[in-house]
Structure 1
């Protein structure tokens, strides 16, 4: 056989050998190209869902409450005794122990809520308005984590003095020792605004920063001449004073009331009825509203239960001011965002925030 033919046969043999080896390798899978990665999008989605569930469960655990603190006011005012009844009602309705705690009232209460040192608090509607807008005592520090449950009752601005003090008008307070409450408190701000309407400032009086019981005690002892007291009537401290001396309440004239409301719409005209504190006739003055505020970390369902408990059980509360707590007036004077649970409750009652 010629050498050329032998070479061709050998080359053919080698080619066939390589073909057989390649086929064998494909069948065994040892040398095949790697498969495309499996589609894990469904698994990833499931993992993300599970992760989200875990986060949600953790957040739910963080937002569960075994105990609620309700800040009220001084023990001689209206907030504290009414708050005690409301706290008991909330405890019974929710199964969560709720305690009413005495405090320095509105401004301090809002700060405590802002710092999450309490969950619920009594606040004046005007002070709450100042807080969310970052003005007056909250200048440059607006409160963003507080929401409303609803308004409760009118808080009357009472300028209290002795009947024989010679103080018959706001102008007569000039040069006198007058208690105006703690700086930044609701009472203090009310005093500032009423004096302003009369063309006066704190510099025109000898301002004393006393609480309600200290104020009435000071009037009784002759250490001060008068006191601004913003509280639902009758106020315990003033009733106590009227048991020992003849009390007078300084009226606010109609034109001044109109000017005050025009400048500060959260005020309303109010009347202290004859017979209160032994008064011989009605006294015309102004009022703001007391409201209940909460931190926004209260879960919606708990906020709903709190709202329902208060407005559906007010008639069973013994305090005089409980009679003012109604669904129909619950959103009066509320200028801040409602808690989602409160909104849900009022929506069910057909009551909408203006």
Structure 2
């Protein structure tokens, strides 16, 4: 063996422990037409570049419920999920038969309820959804949880009173455009791509939720709050009164304090890179990190946040 070859072999062997030490991790997101996926992708790049021993990749999923379950099972290092779903998991309610070992790293941005229909559908309120074909969102998603709860809060039984289907964002807008459904729910950030795109090709309306309906819903589900989407966010769509719930980054409560600290620190020290990809990340700040107060922050995340919030 020549000296050059021997030196190359020694160099490659020296690299092997470093390469082997980086574990592969998944971050649970959602469908590719929503905000979760690009947010998770940007976060995965930061964690892979900045956190030693972490090689992360965004994974397409059905979103909140699936992500929370996979975090609990240890299949994912973290998942993006709607706060109401994480709260249900923490309390052992809704889709979760018992209390789950979940905590949060930090809150991300608020999700908004979009109740979509075509402008000429003749549908102007939630009460008029009885007897209609309605997409409640992808199976095991926060959208499906929220839409079902909202309809039931106004007296609509999703099993009896509507023709319910479970479609993701892009499937929902395609079905609406093709006349296969009358109404579709999308619970996503302001300016979510799926709604933006259909508004450019079809005349749509987003149903407002009345003050009475909003107050009644928040009384039952305190993780939500009222929110007004300004006119013009979506093409030819007037201002909308709706509901919001914060998205959070959920992790297993058994994650080490060191890992939680490092993940949180890397995210906030490089949040500008995420904001280049996702405009809603402008709301991802240390000051907003505790928006979901009913579910505790991981101790490692709290340690970092306490060091930057004075």
TM (norm. structure 2) is 0.88
Q: 1:65 to 1:134 in 2, by over 3 A?
A: farther
Equivalent residues of 1:151, 1:334 under 8 A apart: no
Pick the aligned partner of 1:345 from 299, 304, 307. Answer: 304
Q: Is the 8 A contact 1:180 1:228 kept in 2?
A: yes
1:174 Cα deviation after fit = 1.1
Who is 1:332 aligned against?
A: 291
Equivalent residue number for residue 76 of structure 1: 33
Displacement of 1:195? 1.2
- 1:299-342 Cα offsets, whole Å, 9 max, x none, are 22221121122223223322111111011111002422321210
- Given that residues 138 and 169 in structure 2 are in contact (C-alpha distance below 8 angstroms), is that contact kept between their aligned partners in structure 1? no
Distance 2:22 2:298 in 1: 17
Structure 1 stretches of at least 4 aligned residues deviating more than 3 Å after TM superposition: none
SS for the counterpart of 2:201 is coil
Contact 1:148 1:334 in 2 (8 A): no
Task: Tell which deviates more after alignment, 234-243 or 167-176.
Answer: 234-243
Give the Cα–Cα distance (whole angstroms) in 1 for the partners of residues 22 and 256 of structure 2. 9
Equivalent runs, 1:16-165 vs 2, <5 Å: 66-95=23-52, 96-139=54-97, 141-144=98-101, 146-165=102-121
Preserved contact between residue 239 and residue 277 of structure 1 (Cα < 8 Å): yes
Q: Does the alignment pair 1:220 with 2:177?
A: yes
Displacement of 1:185 in angstroms is 2.5
Q: CA deviation at 1:241?
A: 1.2
Rounded Cα–Cα distance in structure 2 between residues aligned with 1:344 and 1:184: 32
Q: Equivalent residue for 2:155? A: 199
Q: Which whole-Å CA distance do the structure 2 matches of 1:79 and 1:316 have between them? A: 15
Alignment partner, residue 172 of structure 1:
128
Tell me the equivalent position of 2:18.
Answer: none
Root-mean-square deviation (CA, aligned residues, Å) is: 1.6
Pairing partner for 1:295 from 241, 249, 252 = 252
Conserved? CA contact 2:63–2:140, under 8 Å: no
Task: Select between 217-226 and 298-307 the one with higher mean Cα deviation.
Answer: 298-307
Segments of 5+ residues of structure 1 without an aligned counterpart are 1-63
Q: In 2, are the aligned partners of 1:197 and 1:259 still within 8 Å (CA)?
A: yes
- Mapping 1:260-271, distance limit 5 Å: 260-271=217-228
SS in 2 for 1:88: helix
How many aligned positions are there?
286
- Identify the residue that residue 308 of structure 1 maps to in structure 2: 265
Question: How many angstroms does 1:83 deviate by?
Answer: 1.1
Displacement after TM superposition at 1:155 (Å): 0.4
Following superposition, the deviation at residue 298 of structure 1 comes to 2.9
3-state SS of 1:156 partner? strand
Match of 1:56 in 2: none
Q: Is the 8 A contact 1:136 1:184 kept in 2?
A: no
Q: Is the 8 A contact 1:179 1:226 kept in 2?
A: yes
Question: Separation in 1 of the partners of 2:273 and 2:61?
Answer: 25
CA distance in 1, matches of 2:88, 2:134: 24
CA offset digits 1:210-240 (Å, max 9, x no partner) = 1111100000101011111111121111222
